[in-house]
Amino acid sequence: MMEADYSAAYARLYREHWWWRVRETILVEKLRELLKGAPAARILDVGCGEGVFFEALEEFGCPEGIESDAAAVDRSGRWRSRIRVGELDVTFVPGHTFDLILMLDVLEHVPRPEQVLRRAVDLLTPTGRVLATVPAFDCLWTSHDDVNHHVKRYTSKEIRALMSRAGLRVDETHYLFQSLVVPKLLVRAKEALAPAGGGIPRIPSPAINRALQAWFRSEHAVAGWLPFGSSIMAVAQRA
């Protein structure tokens, strides 16, 4: 769960901030690869907020969501009827299974992520997949992680082991946002000398926002294979 101010600003950040715009581009490209030629998929977006990703997900099928923070769900929003407020545990009984379960920057908030993943396995079709993103490397921990109530940042090896323990077979992992590693290390060093309280990310000027989007999209296309980054994307299916 996020700080209340961050949660309130999240929808605008998602729509406009370069980081979320780039992440969505990467995810949509991956989903086109995973769901190519498949009929309309049943998709569950865990930690969906007010359904900010649903419009993009409609390209692939019928998105539904579950969100643990009631304050993050717009009661009069376009997608409200498709969102369940609650936890991904045995109390969530959707009545059908899913071809794809998304956990986009969710697992780092959860004290017992293995239990959440095990419930996801229960809800997958036999050929269904889990696609997760998480922040990478505890050495990149900054006040941003504190503001977001993160429990942990992961390495590729750690997220693979976690998913394996939960009954998943990991098909692939990729680090994302390679160029952010050095800036985040510098922020961490600065905060070690002068602790910061953190805050809501600011949306840069339009020109800078566009330039950063172009840079990180190009970086992913050219250097996405590199074994480091500030985030990880993992794809898995039933073991």
The sign of the CA dihedral 9, 11, 17, 20 is positive
Q: What is the DSSP letter of 60?
A: T
pTM over 0.75: yes
Overall CATH class of domain 4-238 = alpha beta
Helix axes 206-223 and 18-34, enclosed angle (nearest 10): 40
Q: How far apart are CA 154 and CA 141, in angstroms?
A: 11
The pLDDT score that the predictor gives to residue 6 is: 72
Contact 24, 57 (CB under 8 A): no
pLDDT at 192 over 80: yes
Q: pLDDT (tens digit, 9 = 90+) per residue, 9-31?
A: 888 999 999 999 999 999 999 99
Lowest mean pLDDT among 58-62, 127-131, 198-202: 198-202
DSSP string, 31-52: HHHHTTT--SEEEEEET-TTTT
pLDDT at 2 over 60: no
Count CA atoms closer than 13 A to 87's CA, side-chain side: 14
State phi, psi for 67 to the nearest 5 degrees: -135, 125
pLDDT at 51 over 70: yes
Q: Which residues have C-beta within 8 Å of that of residue 31, sequence separation ≥ 6?
A: 57, 59, 60, 100, 131
Q: Percent of the chain, pLDDT > 90?
A: 87
H or E segment and range at residue 22: helix 18-34
148 in the Ramachandran plot: left (φ > 0), alpha (ψ -120 to 50) or beta?
Answer: alpha
- What average pLDDT does the chain have? 94
Q: How far apart are CA 178 and CA 125, in angstroms?
A: 33
Question: Which is higher by pLDDT, 121 or 7?
Answer: 121
The pLDDT score that the predictor gives to residue 48 is: 96
Q: pLDDT (tens digit, 9 = 90+) per residue, 126-139?
A: 999 999 999 999 99
Structure tokens at 113: 């992520």
The pLDDT score that the predictor gives to residue 9 is: 85
Q: How far apart are CA 83 and CA 75, in angstroms?
A: 10
Q: pLDDT (tens digit, 9 = 90+) per residue, 162-173?
A: 999 999 999 999
Contact 165, 114 (CB under 8 A): yes
Structure tokens at 143: 């006040």
Q: Give 4's pLDDT tier (boundaries 50, 70, 90).
A: low
Average pLDDT over residues 49-77: 94
Q: How far apart are CA 168 and CA 237, in angstroms?
A: 5
The sign of the CA dihedral 157, 159, 165, 169 is negative
